[in-house]
């Protein structure tokens, strides 16, 4: 079988999933009368809503007599763990770069990993029909990036295609004819990417993607390194360090054919397949013939940088909106997630009611919380904290530092530099990026970036684009000032009344609406000063005999601050929690009783 395995890697929004759509269409995967879905590979609800790829997925197209397995990868650095594993399955990569934005941080991160593995890249400059496209400069930037990442001479001699994924064409120059569609890209993949290297010996496969199926159980996707495999074949599973995980039989083998996965009777070395029937084997394990003793070498994964506590919801409204509320259900769900997602680490905390979950960034953890919420879970989560490390040699505390690239209009660059320096960030580079915009590059502590996205959007009138990427662990940078405003806390339980809220408007903006259920210790608004204030939002109007139009004029309230999940996680302080249910997102104090709050505050001061 003529085979090619490739991955498409690019920064977020550079057009990977749209390009895959066109490759599927032009290779004859769809029937002529078949309804075609936009962004077919983004099958998950959250991916469709947000317009981003979260999970890496495989597909396959037939071009002439060659089968090309294509892996679509996520573009956000938070989901980089997905991409790192996938690269071990493929023999070549298409690096897709936006003709206006050029190579961005995530491009750099994944390309670095791909070059280290010795993969030969094909560069595709996408969106060349954009009015602000700067094709020549972008090609030079890509070359400089490859050189900076220590590419070999062979890797630096990369072929380049220009085109528009949305309009379905690629060509060898920006002005060439568009009539051939994606043919130049297909032909280049077959010519430039080497066929998969097949080793001698019995069946071996490295698990790369894990998913759960209600009918088949756990399904593991990976590339067969050697041998062949058939349904009902006896296999064993070895962990990364060579220990036996389990033995069993393969119940089904699914091969990727277009968008469908079809059962096959035999799968050969070099092909990417999904196998079912083994309940314990997971990602980075080797699935092999019983005679094999040594596992396939798996790529080490970068460490998590941000952690959060997932706590059982103990508010007075617990259990009224969700059906999965116990610590056992939350624990099982998180452990199941950690099995399939190698970039997540889940540890049970001391008090058994909480789980410590560490990941690559706030977005990755927010996606996990949103998924759980839609499944009917109720839980409380703490403010994101960074994962510190200790230098064994010097005893110094090290913290994660990120490379932050901000594209901003020139007029707003001053306020961005000022706010970033307040957050202990260091300006590394400042250069024009076309159209009166500047590209600012900082090295910033991850701590300082928690909650900055919203502030950046306000400061730049929504025009700035921020991209982040884990850089390194470096010595602790010192104290960073947090939120400047205090909060308004409800002092009783009941339903909020418009009359009471109207009277309290001068205290600060509200986060609730009339008729919403509130409880003692729940955060209902933001205080205009820096201290917390307890208020009564339940107080109704005293009725009198007087009935006049001016006296009973309708109460007009200022619209409340709308808290999305990401906004809420970024807003809270260390002594606060976000209560998440399938219907609501509420902010609350960790200690609902005011006396307990004062006691905790005194203890904290005593320790300090």
The binding site for GTP consists of 13-18, 126-129
Label each residue of 540-600 as H, E or C. CCCCCCCCCCCCCCCCCCCCCCCCCHHHHHHHCCCCEEEEECCCCEEEEECCCCHHHHHHH
Long-range contacts of 290-293 (CB under 8 A, 24+ apart): 290/234, 290/235, 290/236, 290/247, 291/202, 292/201, 292/202, 292/203, 292/204, 292/236, 292/238, 293/242
- The answer to whether 77 touches 106, Cβ cutoff 8 Å, is yes
- The answer to whether the beta carbons of residues 127 and 25 sit under 8 Å apart is no
* Beta-strand pair 306-311/345-348: unpaired
User: Is 124 within 8 Å of 185 (Cβ atoms)?
Assistant: yes
* Beta-strand pair 252-257/345-348: unpaired
Cβ 149 vs Cβ 115: under 8 Å: yes
**Dist. CA 508–CA 558, nearest whole Å:** 10
Binding annotation? 13-18, 126-129
Q: Tell me how far CA of residue 244 lies from CA of 68, 219, 249, 521, in angstroms.
A: 33, 19, 15, 51
308/304 Cα distance (integer angstroms) = 11
Angle formed by the axes of helices 16-26 and 183-192, nearest 10°: 100
Query: H-helix or E-strand containing 10?
Result: strand 2-10
Q: Are 205 and 287 in contact (CB under 8 A)?
A: yes
CA distance 30 to 24: 7
Cα–Cα distance measured from residue 75 to residue 53, given in angstroms and rounded to the nearest whole number: 7
CA Rg value for the chain: 27
- Exposure string over 549-573, b if 16+ CB within 10 A, otherwise e: eeeeeeeeeeebeebebbbbbbbbe
Token pair in block for residue 475: 């010595």
């Amino acid at each position: 079988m003529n085979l090619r395995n490739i991955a498409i890697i690019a920064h977020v929004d550079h057009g990977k999933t749209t390009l895959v759509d066109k490759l599927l269409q032009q290779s004859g995967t769809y029937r002529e009368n078949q309804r075609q879905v936009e962004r077919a590979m983004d099958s998950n609800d959250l991916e469709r809503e947000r317009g981003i790829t979260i999970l890496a997925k495989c597909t396959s197209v037939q071009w002439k007599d060659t089968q090309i397995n294509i892996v679509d990868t996520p573009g956000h650095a938070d989901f980089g763990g997905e991409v790192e594993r996938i690269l071990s399955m493929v023999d070549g990569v298409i690096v897709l770069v936006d003709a206006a934005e050029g190579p961005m941080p995530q491009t750099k991160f994944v390309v670095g990993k791909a070059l280290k593995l010795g993969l030969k890249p094909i560069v595709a400059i996408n969106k060349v029909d954009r009015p602000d496209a700067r094709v020549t400069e972008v090609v030079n930037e890509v070359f400089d990036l490859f050189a900076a990442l220590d590419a070999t001479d062979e890797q630096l001699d990369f072929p380049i295609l220009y085109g528009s994924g949305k309009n379905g064409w690629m060509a060898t120059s920006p002005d060439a004819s568009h009539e051939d569609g994606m043919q130049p890209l297909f032909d280049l993949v077959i010519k430039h990417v080497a066929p998969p290297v097949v080793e001698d010996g019995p069946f071996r496969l490295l698990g790369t993607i894990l998913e759960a199926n209600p009918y088949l159980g756990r399904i593991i996707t990976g590339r067969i390194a050697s041998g062949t495999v058939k349904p009902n074949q006896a296999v064993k599973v070895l962990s990364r360090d060579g220990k036996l995980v389990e033995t069993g039989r393969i119940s089904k083998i699914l091969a990727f054919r277009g968008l469908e996965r079809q059962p096959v009777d035999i799968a050969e070395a070099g092909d990417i397949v999904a196998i079912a029937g083994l309940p314990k084997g997971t990602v980075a394990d080797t699935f092999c013939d019983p005679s094999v003793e040594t596992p396939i070498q798996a790529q080490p994964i970068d460490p998590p940088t941000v952690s959060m506590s997932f706590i059982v919801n103990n508010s007075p409204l617990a259990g009224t909106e969700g059906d999965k509320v116990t610590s056992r259900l939350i624990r099982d769900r998180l452990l199941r997630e950690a099995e399939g997602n190698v970039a997540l680490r889940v540890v049970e905390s001391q008090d058994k009611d909480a789980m410590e979950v560490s990941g690559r960034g706030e977005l990755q953890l927010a996606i996990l919380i949103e998924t759980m919420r839609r499944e009917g879970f109720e839980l409380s989560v703490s403010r994101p904290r960074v994962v510190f490390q200790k230098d064994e040699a010097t005893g110094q505390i090290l913290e994660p530092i990120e490379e932050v690239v901000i594209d901003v209009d020139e007029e707003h660059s001053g306020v961005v530099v000022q706010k970033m320096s307040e957050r202990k960030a260091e300006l590394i580079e400042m250069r024009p990026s076309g159209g009166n915009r500047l590209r600012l590059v900082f090295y910033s502590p991850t701590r300082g970036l928690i909650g900055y996205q919203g502030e950046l959007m306000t400061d730049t009138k929504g025009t700035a684009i921020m991209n982040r990427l884990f850089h390194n662990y470096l010595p602790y940078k010192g104290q960073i000032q947090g939120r400047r405003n205090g909060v308004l806390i409800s002092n009783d339980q009941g339903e909020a009344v418009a009359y009471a809220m109207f009277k309290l408007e001068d205290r600060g903006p509200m986060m609730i609406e009339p008729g919403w259920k509130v409880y003692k210790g729940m955060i209902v608004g933001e205080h205009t000063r820096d201290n917390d204030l307890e208020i009564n939002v339940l107080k109704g109007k005293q009725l009198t005999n007087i009935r006049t139009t001016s006296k009973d004029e309708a109460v007009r309230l200022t619209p409340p601050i709308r808290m999305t999940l990401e906004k809420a996680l970024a807003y809270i302080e260390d002594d606060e929690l976000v209560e998440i249910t399938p219907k609501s997102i509420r902010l609350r104090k960790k200690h609902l009783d005011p006396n307990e709050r004062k006691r905790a505050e005194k203890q904290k001061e005593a320790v300090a």
